[in-house]
Amino acid sequence: MGAEWVTSATLATRRTTYSVRVLSRKKTEPQASANATAQEPVRPGAKNRPTPKRRDQQAARRRPLVSDGRTGTPEQKAHQKAQQKAARGKAREGMLRGEDRYLGARDRGPMRRYLRDSVDGRWNIGEVLLPAMLIILAMSLINQPWAQIGVFGVAYTLIVVGIADALLLWRRTRKKAVAEFGEEPGRGSAMYVVLRAFQMRMSRVPRPQVPRGTKLARRG
């Protein structure tokens, strides 16, 4: 009994001593690791910082390419909308004035400006065709054979004469453009001149930049 008691007591003492040592070691290891990290010298040329995780890097790089107006304070949104509206108004005014930087490819360049001036500097039969058609439409409501025959006769005559006038205008303008620029106008120039000749002066885009009766000359 005495030997067994001594052995049990000794084992209990050893277990207690071992547990205390293990717990003490676990408590001191983090402190030692932190002290070692704090005391580690800064190496020149090294990062000297932990590598960030991939998801953190992706979140930091994730930025909208174009602001859609849904971010920022209400004051910033209002200011941004005002700037966009002013920019659109400036672009439209420049387009109506015929400034090249605001025009599309169809209207840009000195050749196209020359063609527009050839139409805008004269009276065109085609530009009165639309108002005349409204009058003809109103007169066609008269239920008389002579009135309807006369109305449609006038309508077809205006159309034919307007097309002939626009084609003659194109032939004269083409010759002058070749003499002025030394080359033929580009593809689609004939339709460009004819369609503009059939538009009312106030509805042409870009707006006419020369008054009627102006001698055709190269500008710019």
Could you report the per-residue pLDDT of 190-200, keeping only the tens digit for each?
999 999 999 99
Residue 48: both structure tokens together: 């000297």
Q: CB-based contacts of 105: which residues, under 8 Å, 6+ apart? A: none
pLDDT tens column, 44-57: 555 556 676 777 77
pLDDT at 4 over 60: no
For residue 16, the model assigns a pLDDT of: 54
Task: Give pLDDT tens digits for 114-165.
Answer: 999 999 999 999 999 988 888 888 888 888 888 788 888 888 999 999 999 9
CA distances to 1, 14, 19, 85, 100 from 8, rounded to whole Å, are 11, 10, 17, 92, 104
Which pTM does this prediction carry? 0.64
More confident residue, 13 or 204: 204
**pLDDT of the residue at 138:** 85
Is residue 14 very low, low, confident or very high in pLDDT (cuts 50, 70, 90)? low
33 confidence band (pLDDT: 50, 70, 90): very low
Q: Tokens 């983090």 belong to which residue?
A: 30
Residue-wise pLDDT tens digits, 40-91: 455 555 555 667 677 777 766 665 555 555 556 888 888 899 999 999 999 9
Q: What 3 state SS string does the chain have?
A: CHHHHHHHHHHHHHHHHHHHHHHHHHHHHHHHHHHHHHHCCCCCCCCCCCCCCHHHHHHHHCCCCCCCCCCCCHHHHHHHHHHHHHHHHHHHHHHHHCCHHHCCCCCCCHHHHHHHHHHHCCCCHHHHHHHHHHHHHHHCCCCCHHHHHHHHHHHHHHHHHHHHHHHHHHHHHHHHHHHHHCCCCCCCHHHHHHHHHCCCHHHCCCCCCCCCCCCCCCCC
